Amino acid sequence: MKQALLWIFVCLAMSSILSAQGGPAKNGAPPPSADRMFFPHDMFWGYGQFDLAPPHNEIDPNLCRADAGISGGVNDPCNAFARYMLSGYVEVRPFGRTELRRFFLFGEPRFVFGKNLPQTLYTWSFDAIGVERSWGAGIYMGKGFEMRWTQHFLFSRFGARDRNLGSADLGPNGPWGRYNMIGVRKYFGQRRY
């Protein structure tokens, strides 16, 4: 147990030493700027996420009416209720110096997969349904505030689902439809990892 705690302490200490930025050079002069003007080494930030919805709790991308199974049963073509979602967020900060370093671009796709009908058909199928996506640009204003411009697109269907799926089909709008918006985001607190 003591060896494990010592090992964790050594790893944390090495991690903090290796990630430390700056400090005076050997001759006492300030260290040279490590950031490049264009495409700095830490320009990408983001995450990827995989979600699984259990039976009777499917993800509804709003492509089919919730009562689609009433008329067609398990064979109804409008079975675009998802079991799985693969999503992510990517932020790119292409400038490393000057006030331009506050500028960023971002993208946020959500891919949904499955073949389910509420109260009628529950499967573990990984059939591709489509993607909901948005992208935009922003600028960090200071003190945790960002101003963002976002473009959200219509839901894009994949494969056999990229056509009219019968009387229960709600059209191509998806969960949010198409929109542009300008927003302000405020960050607060600090995460504990």
pTM for the model: 0.74
Q: 4 pLDDT exceeds 50?
A: no
Residue 161 DSSP code? G
> In whole angstroms, what is the distance from residue 159 CA to residue 131 CA?
12
| Residue corresponding to tokens 């331009």 | 100
Q: Given the structure tokens 């950031």, which residue do they identify?
A: 35
- Specify the pairing of strand 103-113 against strand 128-142: antiparallel
Domain ranges of the chain: 36-186
Supply the pLDDT for residue 88. 97
Instruction: Tell me what percent of the residues of the chain surpass a pLDDT of 70.
Output: 82
Q: How confident is the model at residue 33 (pLDDT cuts 50, 70, 90)?
A: low
Which of these, 170, 175, 193, lies nearest to 78 by C-alpha position?
Answer: 170
In the chain, the amino acid numbered 80 is A
pLDDT digits (tens, 9 = 90+) for 124-145: 999 999 999 999 999 999 999 9
